[in-house]
Amino acid sequence: MTRELLEKLYSKLKSEPENHRKNKTGCFDFFEEKVLTQQIFDKYKHISVTAKTMKNYYEKHVEGRANKSKEPCTELKNCISEYLGYQNYLQFCNSLSRNSKNTSKWSFVSFKKKIYSFNGYFFYPFNDILFKA
């Protein structure tokens, strides 16, 4: 769910009319400087998060890059969820669960060889990774 949260955050930041820098660094700078400083997010002032940290979270959890970032804390997830229009992170997760009950999404990571499908099943070489999102 962290991946989906960060994807939606980045998408919304890119679409902000006041944000003139649409790359990752620019978007997360905008998040740190303009979004987190809004009065409605005062209750999250004790969370110390920089644009660089947010970019690292995105690169690790969305792009699959190896870095030392951990999982964002629950309060940061709540803050991001509120910015996206949800009450909190739990409501965000519940909305995703409701939307995906009848659909199954597959994500493929680190493939070097061909994937084969047969009767709706996917087969892949042993060393490569396949996970259900």
What are the tokens at 8? 């939606």
Tell me, rounded to whole angstroms, the distance of Cα 15 from its chain centroid: 16
Burial status of residue 77 (CB atoms within 10 A of its CB: 0-12, 13-18, 19 or more): buried
pLDDT score, position 97: 74
Spatial separation of the C-alpha atoms in residues 86 and 84, rounded to whole Å: 6
CA-CA-CA-CA torsion sign (78, 83, 86, 87)? positive
Q: Say how far apart CA 19 and CA 11 lie, in whole Å.
A: 12
- One digit per residue, the tens of pLDDT, for the chain of length 133 reads 899 999 999 999 999 999 999 999 999 999 999 999 988 888 988 888 999 999 999 999 999 999 999 999 999 999 999 999 999 999 998 888 776 654 444 444 444 445 545 555 555 444 444 433 3
